[in-house]
């Protein structure tokens, strides 16, 4: 239910803001707006305002539209010709079309601005021990080092590290990472990427071996999933796990490793509960994770909040700096999205990076469950993506209409209806193909992992 509500809220906010951009500029240009619809298909609720605009809610919530008075769609009474879209100057028509995507960029800036002023929870960029054989391990990075810069750009948080690694590692064979150890020694490491696949594009930090430092956790049970294997088998919060199948364990990571390695296989847990030794047999559930079957018992470690607080922080800025950072973040995301699309077209980045409505709904639910700040950041990210997508020069999208207007500007006459019909067919084909790949990737993530 959380996922569904978060997805519907995401669609409603982004669609309304996008279409309101079209609506507002159309009204400012003197165009009569006939209908403002959230959703497509059959109208299920409507209301008409004093200007004669019908505000509608339609049955299919995957989009929306603003319908304007236009002689190309239906006859227009002579007394209303001044309010027809097609009668407006080229600059006005282009501004109306561009206003939708620009509204999405504006929304992203406002959301980021609010986040940066109110404060964003951050994680300090302290690294854990990199897995053997990864670029970070081969470069000599060690546990406890703090990243200060990536390719010369300063790093203030682990979120910064993730973003800069994603931005600089795509398409580049090398990445320079500056680190500071606990003795204050600064090191400059070059991480070399010899091979890359779709997993690298989607999770560059993991592929590089740059993983977050986690303080050692004792093998003490914290929260248990109510219907998980651990709770059903008799384990309780506060239980200290001493051994699994007679193998002594001291840290939570050892418990995780032994459980993950035994999906569907019995494991004997020796635990200490209030000074008493207890032995229980658990059969870890089989879970598909990244195409691999692993075991899981539905248990989390007991956390030392004071210790964890040492590695947490908050990014908070004054109004002007927050606005500057919000504009910069929106610009960087827009440029990066275009770069990723371009690399997909020439085969440098896997098409598996495309996401459709199922993945968006999943991320919406996860971000909403994490907290308001995560959901707002997710909204801003999707708003940028929607703005970039709509500006692509593909017929049926806003960018396709702007392409026609640019041709009209060069030639001095509108693009012919025949050319527009051909473009419409091409646009439908391209968007159908795009949606096919996106839905295929969604289903792959859902059923394969």
- What are the pLDDT digits (tens) for 176-228? 889 888 888 888 888 887 665 555 656 777 778 888 888 888 899 988 888 88
Per-residue confidence (pLDDT) for residue 313, from 0 to 100: 77
CA separation for the pair 209, 244 (Å, rounded): 28
Q: Record the tokens describing residue 2, joined without a space.
A: 């959380």
- Alpha-helical (H) ranges within 310-393 are 319-345, 357-370, 372-391
Q: Classify burial at 190, counting beta carbons within 10 Å of its beta carbon; exposed 0-12, middle 13-18, buried 19 or more.
A: exposed
Which portions of the chain are predicted below pLDDT 50? none
Per-residue confidence (pLDDT) for residue 443, from 0 to 100: 64
pTM of the model: 0.76
Per-residue confidence (pLDDT) for residue 32, from 0 to 100: 93
Share of the chain above pLDDT 90, in %: 28
Helix (H, G, I), strand (E, B) or coil at 272: strand
Task: Give the active site residues.
Answer: 19
CA separation for the pair 356, 262 (Å, rounded): 33
pLDDT digits (tens, 9 = 90+) for 283-342: 999 887 656 788 999 998 888 777 777 777 778 889 999 999 999 999 988 988 887 777
Per-residue confidence (pLDDT) for residue 95, from 0 to 100: 95
Per-residue confidence (pLDDT) for residue 196, from 0 to 100: 59
Q: Classify burial at 176, counting beta carbons within 10 Å of its beta carbon; exposed 0-12, middle 13-18, buried 19 or more.
A: middle
CA separation for the pair 57, 395 (Å, rounded): 25
Classify the C-alpha dihedral 24-108-4-449 as positive or negative: positive
Domains for the chain: give ranges and CATH numbers: 88-119+318-449 (no CATH), 135-215 (2.30.42.10), 221-301 (2.30.42.10)
């Amino acid at each position: 239910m959380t996922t569904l509500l978060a997805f519907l809220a995401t669609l409603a906010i982004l669609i309304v803001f996008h279409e309101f951009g079209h609506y507002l500029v159309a009204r400012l240009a003197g165009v009569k707006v006939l209908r403002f619809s959230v959703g497509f298909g059959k109208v299920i609720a409507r209301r008409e305002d004093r200007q004669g605009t019908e505000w509608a809610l339609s049955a299919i919530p995957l989009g929306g539209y603003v319908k304007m008075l236009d002689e190309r769609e239906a006859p227009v009474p002579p007394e209303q010709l001044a309010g027809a879209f097609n009668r407006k100057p080229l600059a006005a028509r282009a501004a109306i079309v561009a206003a939708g995507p620009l509204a999405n960029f504006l929304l992203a800036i406002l959301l980021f601005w609010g986040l940066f002023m109110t404060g964003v929870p951050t994680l300090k960029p302290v690294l854990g021990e990199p897995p053997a054989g990864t670029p970070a391990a081969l470069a000599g990075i060690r546990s406890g080092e703090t990243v200060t810069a990536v390719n010369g750009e300063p790093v203030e948080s682990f979120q910064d590290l993730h973003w800069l690694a994603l931005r600089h590692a795509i398409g580049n064979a090398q990445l320079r990472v500056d680190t500071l150890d606990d003795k204050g020694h600064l090191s400059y490491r070059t991480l070399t990427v010899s091979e890359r696949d779709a997993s690298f594009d989607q999770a560059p930090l993991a592929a590089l071996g740059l993983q977050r430092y986690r303080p050692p956790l004792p093998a003490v049970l914290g929260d248990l999933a109510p219907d998980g294997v651990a709770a059903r088998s008799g384990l309780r919060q506060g239980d200290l796990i001493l051994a699994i199948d007679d193998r002594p364990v001291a840290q939570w990571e050892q418990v995780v490793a032994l459980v993950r390695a035994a999906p569907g296989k019995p494991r004997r847990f020796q635990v200490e509960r209030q000074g008493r030794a207890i032995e229980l047999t658990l059969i870890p559930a089989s879970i598909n994770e990244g195409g691999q079957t692993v075991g899981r018992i539905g248990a989390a470690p007991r956390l030392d909040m004071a210790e964890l607080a040492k590695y947490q922080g908050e990014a908070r800025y004054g109004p002007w700096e927050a606005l500057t950072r919000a504009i910069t973040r929106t610009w960087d995301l827009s440029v990066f999205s275009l770069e990723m699309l371009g690399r997909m077209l020439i085969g440098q980045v896997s098409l598996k990076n495309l996401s459709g409505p199922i993945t968006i709904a999943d991320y919406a639910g996860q971000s909403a469950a994490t907290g308001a700040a995560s959901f707002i950041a997710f909204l801003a990210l999707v708003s940028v993506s929607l703005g970039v997508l709509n500006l692509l020069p593909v017929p049926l999208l806003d960018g396709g209409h702007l392409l026609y207007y640019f041709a009209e500007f060069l030639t001095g006459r509108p693009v012919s209806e025949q050319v527009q019909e051909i473009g419409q067919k091409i646009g439908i084909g391209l968007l159908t193909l795009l949606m096919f790949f996106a839905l295929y990737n969604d289903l792959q993530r859902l059923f394969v992992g």
